[in-house]
Amino acid sequence: MANHLITYLDGDTETITASRIEPFGDQYVAYADDGSATAYIPICSVRSVVRQNHDEANR
């Protein structure tokens, strides 16, 4: 799994560890390796989602 840096419209940031993050309806859904959903993020609050590679994420 990789880290994903979420930047919100208000400037706050959050790092989520997930295999992938995909849009679904009015939210982003983060998924674990086994396919289970691990986070739900409202799209209307997000400025950007940046996937960090394993090397950068584990420094």
Supply the CATH number for residue 14's domain.
2.30.30.100
Is position 22 within any domain? Answer: yes
Is position 57 within any domain? Answer: no
Average pLDDT per block of 10 residues along the chain, 59 residues long: 95 95 97 96 96 64
Looking at the structure of the chain, the number of domains it has is 1
Is position 41 within any domain? Answer: yes
pTM over 0.85: no
The reported pLDDT for the residue numbered 54 is 62
- Report how far Cα 43 is from the mean position of its chain's Cα atoms: 11
Is position 18 within any domain? Answer: yes
What 3-state DSSP class applies to 40? Answer: strand
Closest CA relative to residue 49, chosen from 10, 7, 2: 7
User: How many distinct helices (H) and strands (E) make up the chain?
Assistant: 1, 6
Is position 36 within any domain? Answer: yes
Is position 20 within any domain? Answer: yes
Residue 35 sits in which domain range?
2-52
